[in-house]
Amino acid sequence: MKKLILTSLCIAAFASAQAFAEVQTIKADVNGMVCAFCAQGIERKLRAMPQTRDVYVNLKHKIVAVELKEGQGVPLDTVRDLVKEAGYDVTHIETVNQSAQEIKAGINKE
């Protein structure tokens, strides 16, 4: 009986931890994006990284967000370099605890 209770508690704790796991997204302000072709080029480069779960690019606000897979990390300089290789300038870059879709929803509310 004790094993059953202990197993149940462990499973519940694991499920709870998974529900509250923080999403890590690298968010960058990018200068030089002026058309859908620009956005597609950046998105394609960032989606090619094996650590990428999702990418969001907004031309109007000049924002690029790279959501990482759980437990994965990418140095900010790697994202900055990939954007520069695509021909654009990163003016600000940071890691945030929001998904790419949450960032998109926040921008769409403005």
Would you say 56 and 40 are in contact if contact means Cβ atoms under 8 Å apart? no
Q: List the beta strands (DSSP E) in the chain.
A: 25-31, 52-58, 63-68, 89-96
Second-level CATH architecture of 22-109: 2-Layer Sandwich (3.30)
Mean pLDDT of 43-71: 96
- Rg (C-alpha) for the chain, rounded Å, is 18
> For the chain, how many helices (H) and strands (E)?
4, 4
Mean pLDDT of 50-79: 96
Q: How far apart are CA 26 and CA 28, in angstroms?
A: 7
Say what the pLDDT of residue 22 is: 83
Q: Which residues contact 109 (CB under 8 A, 6 or more apart)?
A: none
Q: Which among 98, 103, 108, 106 is positioned nearest to 24, based on CA atoms?
A: 98
Tell me the per-residue pLDDT of 1-52, one tens digit each, with 9 for 90 and over: 455 444 444 444 444 344 446 889 999 999 998 899 988 999 999 999 999 9
- For the chain, the structural domain boundaries read 22-109
